[in-house]
A and B are shown apart, each in its own frame.
Chain A
């Protein structure tokens, strides 16, 4: 009991401190960070893969750090500076272990972040996150800024679909929804605009919740400097890292239904049989229902439906939208353990 007031006081103090930091508008920090963040446009646009992303300028000579993702798997990656100038970027090096790639554009005297000078903060520290989420900004429009608090500094344990993520080092986890489409490669700073980390991908944690994380620049500094100096130039195969299949794959029968035989390349995903007393029966699915969407993806064949199933792990939601006559019916399964 004796410690109660003290604890409350200590917590209150922490809160007050962050309030103090929050009391003023972050406009100054916003203005200083924005010129160092770029919008990147490259490959993608299919399925849930965004064709846009974010990068951070790490040298005055046009070196840009970003997350090593599908966006860069293109001959021409467009880089748009905060003043609207548009450049073509070339990947000069990647490090899959740190999930980072360095782009080079032909420009000089750019405002940049010095990756050797990063701030170190712990849980409870107020932060800002800058990124090109949802492609809201184009041309010279400033990228999105969000605010939040560091909730933990820990090791990443996450997956994409059912694949484990290659990077398992130190990350900042934040309480704001920073990691949206297009955010990868954005920058996490303190409220006064000091460099903290690079916003990562859209990943799910073990408990099926979306993670909002950033890799500290203290971790990224070495590969960035090595790549820029030409000491490190291994080009990773863009697909190799992601494709380590997990232990389980799902079939329609796991959800209590069977599809019509997959006879042609684009066999429509019609339900053929519903297993009695199965989950599918409970949810009211019927033979001849046509699956049109699975987890938000358009299902144009049995094959694409199976690709969706391949991504599932136990505990995930599987939302199906089926067509029955003129009606669209939505049902949601929870993926069972196998």
Chain B
């Protein structure tokens, strides 16, 4: 090679490099759509970051994450994050401020808890998405406080993919069962517990709570699980009731068959499903309007509803299809839920820091050093927390009770009226029903037959086949006269769609002996529109609904009742008269 060739060669190389530089610089002008997508994502993350809560125990030991879901400061998190915090906690938002927060309600089975941040009525909050619309392969990002890194409360964001939907995760030695959950490869780590999972649009689709842990330690290994937000929304009003809420059971276990069917393996004869005709060996077709093709699917569906909801159930036997509606019973006994920490969950306040790793749930306790301090709760907030067995915070139930009592008092001052009621009803076929309600007994005259319910003994199915219509009327009478003293128990439950498919109603539960009544208040205008009275767990309830109220003697009373029992209409009853008789008035019969 001579010099000239060398020079040419060098020039060539330089030219090539220069052109590469030029090309590379030109390529900075990436397609506008890409820049926009990038910008959009940044803006989404910035927008939703304000709803992410860093939760710390008041003493500063341990913590987790949460997400604000309304402007009043209600925030969702994991039960296992707030477990062991005694009523109050400290929460940081990305405005850099610390807020006091109070525990509202807990769902130990579903690993969800509701807390309320205090001090503002204009909290930023997340937009609720639809977790049933989430598909495998969608992008999803998690925000929260992994490893409790966020000293300035700026949440950490991690980004990944939806790896699976409608996943079922077995209970891990404790209550905590994850049903119908979202699996992500988004990095979820200790401290992310209770924090939000967002879809690409920044809508809240889940609450991060669990990770797969095996031999690689308690950090992300590519499989995290979020409780679906739709499940959380089913339970939201239940959690707002301040109770320890329970999940549901059908009273039946199922098993899969070799040809892919799901059949009933065992069923309790005392269950509502049994009363609706479900038997051992029947094959399930659909449950809550979702097809059932595996045991996991059955458990997924069951796991997202609170105790007491009505769901549809379709099954077949010998080629014949049955479609029924079933009210779900409670999964646990009361004592199981409120009797201290469940077995297997270590007490987080225990001194020993070096306990062996528990696989689940996520650890949220990291030693932060320093001595444990007594919680400092401002005096003004102390009244917002009231301890009571069976409740996470009885204060919130009391508030709801107050609201409901106001609605009831709007019916008029029944207390001032004589206690002997004379109620005349007319059936659809014009045949009359006359009822006399005395303090010690109720008598009814129906089609020239008499039915009497003594009130000093047990409530019975009177008239026979009504599910206890007279007992139900007595409950209504007492609710109007003496709601606070007559009943054994009186508490707000939460809300559900009336009979599983109609409008959303708030539910009040009252008990008297073995008898339980559920009272339904329309959420839109708070009015009482019906109630179910159940003599005991083994009977179907007597279901009474009323739409219109009429004025009687300055009081409000239903203009008509419809009464269903055991899935059948018992009667459509028009109220023709309600009179209040003095004790010395002799009524007939």
Residues of A within 8 A of B (CB): 2-3, 5-7, 9-10, 12-13, 16, 19-20, 22-23, 25-30, 34, 48, 84-86, 128, 133-134, 136-148, 176-178, 180-181, 210, 293, 295-296, 321, 327-330
Contacts and interface: CB of A to CB of B under 8 A. Distances in A.
A142 B212 contact: no
Contacts of A19: 34, 37-38
Nearest to B37: A23
B222 A180 contact: yes
30 contacts: A10-B24, A12-B28, A13-B24, A16-B31, A16-B34, A19-B37, A25-B137, A25-B138, A27-B138, A34-B136, A85-B260, A133-B222, A136-B167, A136-B169, A139-B256, A141-B294, A144-B163, A144-B164, A144-B185, A145-B161, A145-B163, A146-B160, A146-B161, A146-B222, A180-B212, A210-B216, A293-B356, A327-B352, A328-B356, A330-B357
B25 interface: yes
Given A9-B27, A19-B34, A134-B223, 20 more contacts: A6-B25, A7-B24, A10-B27, A12-B28, A19-B37, A20-B33, A23-B34, A25-B135, A27-B136, A84-B294, A133-B223, A140-B260, A141-B294, A145-B185, A146-B160, A146-B163, A146-B185, A148-B185, A177-B221, A327-B352
Residue from the set A7, A26, A136, A329 with the largest chain B CB neighbour count within 10 Å: A136
Q: Which of B20, B166, B185, B222 gathers most chain A CB within 10 Å?
A: B222
A298 to B, nearest CB: 12
A13 B30 contact: yes
Interface in B281-320: 293-294, 296
Nearest to A292: B356
B356 A9 contact: no
A128 B37 CA distance: 21
Given A26-B137, A144-B183, A139 B296 contact: yes
Interface string B179-219: 00001010000000000000010000000000010111000
Contact of B260 (A139, A146, A177, A180): A139
A147 to B, nearest CB: 4
A144 B31 CA distance: 32
B382 interface: no
A84 B294 CA distance: 9
Nearest to A85: B260
Contacts, number: 144
Nearest to B212: A134
Contacts of A25: 135, 137-139, 200
B293 A139 contact: yes
Nearest to B162: A145
Nearest to B38: A19
B220 interface: yes
B355 interface: yes
B4 interface: no
Interface of B: 20-21, 24-25, 27-28, 30-31, 33-35, 37-38, 135-139, 160-164, 166-167, 169, 183, 185, 200, 212, 214-216, 220-223, 256, 258, 260, 293-294, 296, 352, 354-357
A32 to B, nearest CB: 11
B200 to A, nearest CB: 8
B21 A6 contact: yes
A25 B138 CA distance: 5
Nearest to B35: A16
Contacts of A178: 222
Contacts of A147: 160-161, 185
B183 A136 contact: yes
Contacts of B138: 25, 27
A308 B258 CA distance: 40
B356 A321 contact: yes
A136 B169 CA distance: 8
Binding site of A, secondary structure by majority: helix, strand, loop or mixed?
mixed
Given A27-B136, A180-B222, A9 B293 contact: no
B221 A9 contact: no
A3 B300 CA distance: 56
Given A177-B220, A329-B354, A138 B137 contact: no
Given A16-B30, A20-B31, A177-B220, A2 B212 contact: no
Contacts of A34: 136
A138 B294 contact: yes
B382 to A, nearest CB: 37
A285 B24 CA distance: 61
Contacts of A16: 30-31, 34-35, 38
A55 B175 CA distance: 34
Contacts of A142: 136, 164
Contacts of B216: 210
A328 B353 CA distance: 11
A27 B137 contact: yes
Contacts of B169: 136
Contacts of A48: 214-215
The 4 closest A-B pairs by CB, nearest first: A177-B222, A26-B137, A30-B137, A139-B294
A145 B220 CA distance: 15
Contact of B215 (A26, A84, A296): A296
B215 A295 contact: yes
Contacts of A86: 258
Contacts of B25: 5-6, 9
A321 B162 CA distance: 36
B30 A29 contact: no
Contacts of B27: 9-10, 13
B293 A84 contact: yes
Given A6-B21, A20-B31, A26-B161, A141 B296 contact: yes
B222 A136 contact: no
A147 B131 CA distance: 20
A238 B203 CA distance: 50
B346 to A, nearest CB: 11
Contacts of B137: 25-30, 128, 145
Contact of A180 (B20, B34, B223): B223
Nearest to A83: B260
A20 B34 contact: yes
A178 B221 CA distance: 8
A28 to B, nearest CB: 8
Contacts of B293: 84, 139-140
A335 to B, nearest CB: 16
Contacts of A3: 21
A11 B268 CA distance: 65
A23 B25 CA distance: 23
A212 B212 CA distance: 17
B356 to A, nearest CB: 5
Contacts of A327: 352
B120 to A, nearest CB: 36
Contacts of B356: 293, 321, 328, 330
B263 to A, nearest CB: 14
B254 to A, nearest CB: 13
